[in-house]
């Protein structure tokens, strides 16, 4: 039996999934696993194009049972349909120096984890017939892919994620400005970043996007080694973006560091909520299905 049939791909160890193939292959696995695990939507409505079958569940509308399959195989399945939509989405992907880091016990860098989330989210949106674009940024805009809704657009997005980047800083403010140019009508902006930025620089852009009617989702990527300091010996701590070095005893600063990180998480969440944005913390050690479900819970509320 293959691994794909043993467990949902979006819930397996991220490092195991990463070892299986290229980004496009992994994204398709993630999406297949995610869609398999979705609960039936409580929304009812008219849809225009057949998408796939799924097993019948108590409470399903009997009109959508495929009676031909039931008569032929005695299996009860329901037809699912794709909704038409003209929603436009842009994924802002942080590719700054700090995103390339991972702690000693981590299996993936923050950037690898973020790229797989971005690819999976793009594929999910395209499957829902939404137009998806991509902006990669560090201390400048590295890549801009305008939103398109064609299925073949996914290959363009994946190819863009392999383009080079070299900047140390994260200029989220520039990325937010670029996003505002890509989608004029109300849409959705998904920001995937480790948030090692000055929050004050991003606030005007967030406020402008929300004022324009866009829904904003921030996926905060964190390595487990960032959230909890375990070092018990003397060490030299280096800021991967600024290059600043500080020598300190891990034993002496552990409690203060851990408290400061938790406070920073709270501050970020408060900032985004105050600006009308959504916030999801994504630990790079957790299965991909968890942040995917958090992201699409926010997404579903937008689609209404």
pLDDT in tens, 23-34: 988 999 888 888
pLDDT of 113 reads 96
What are the chain's domains? 3-82 (no CATH), 88-303 (3.40.50.410)
Q: Is the pLDDT of residue 53 over 90?
A: no
Pairing of strands 49-55, 88-94: unpaired
CA-CA-CA-CA torsion for 99, 273, 184, 166, nearest 10 degrees? -10
pLDDT digits 0-9 by tens, 95-150: 999 999 999 888 999 999 999 999 999 999 998 888 999 999 999 999 999 999 88
Spatial separation of the C-alpha atoms in residues 66 and 71, rounded to whole Å:
9
Answer yes or no: are the C-beta atoms of 3 and 27 closer than 8 Å.
no
Give every CB contact of residue 88 below 8 A, 6+ residues apart in sequence.
130, 131, 132, 133, 147, 182, 183, 185, 187, 188
Residue 65 DSSP code: B
Question: Residues in the chain, how many?
Answer: 304
Closest C-alpha to 227, from 270, 197, 198, 266: 266
- pLDDT level of residue 297 (50, 70, 90 thresholds): low
């Amino acid at each position: 039996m293959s691994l794909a049939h043993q467990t949902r791909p979006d819930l397996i160890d991220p490092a195991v999934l990463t070892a299986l193939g290229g980004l496009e292959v992994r994204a398709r696995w993630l999406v297949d696993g995610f869609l398999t695990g979705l609960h039936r939507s409580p929304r009812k409505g008219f849809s225009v194009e057949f998408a796939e079958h799924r097993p019948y569940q108590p409470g399903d509308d009997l009109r959508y049972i495929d009676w031909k399959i039931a008569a032929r195989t005695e299996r009860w399945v329901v037809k699912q349909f794709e909704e038409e939509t003209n929603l436009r989405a842009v994924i802002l992907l942080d590719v700054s120096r700090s995103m390339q880091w991972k702690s000693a016990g981590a299996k993936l860098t923050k950037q690898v984890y973020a790229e797989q989330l971005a690819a999976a989210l793009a594929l999910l949106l395209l499957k829902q017939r939404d137009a998806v674009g991509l902006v990669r940024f560090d201390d400048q805009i590295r890549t801009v892919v305008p939103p398109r809704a064609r299925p073949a657009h996914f290959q363009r997005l994946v190819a863009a994620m392999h383009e080079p980047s070299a900047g140390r800083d994260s200029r989220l403010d520039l990325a937010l400005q670029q996003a505002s140019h890509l989608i004029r009508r109300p849409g959705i902006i998904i920001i995937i970043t480790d948030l090692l930025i000055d929050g004050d620089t991003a606030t005007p852009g967030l406020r402008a996007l929300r004022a324009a009617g866009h829904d904003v989702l921030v996926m905060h990527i964190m390595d487990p080694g960032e959230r909890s300091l375990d070092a018990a010996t003397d060490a030299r701590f280096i800021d991967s973006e600024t290059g600043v070095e500080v020598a300190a005893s891990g034993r002496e600063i552990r409690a203060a560091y851990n408290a400061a990180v938790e406070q920073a998480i709270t501050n970020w969440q408060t900032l985004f909520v105050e600006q009308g944005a959504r916030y999801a913390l994504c630990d790079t050690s957790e299965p991909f299905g968890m942040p995917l479900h958090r992201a699409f819970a926010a997404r579903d509320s937008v689609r209404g």
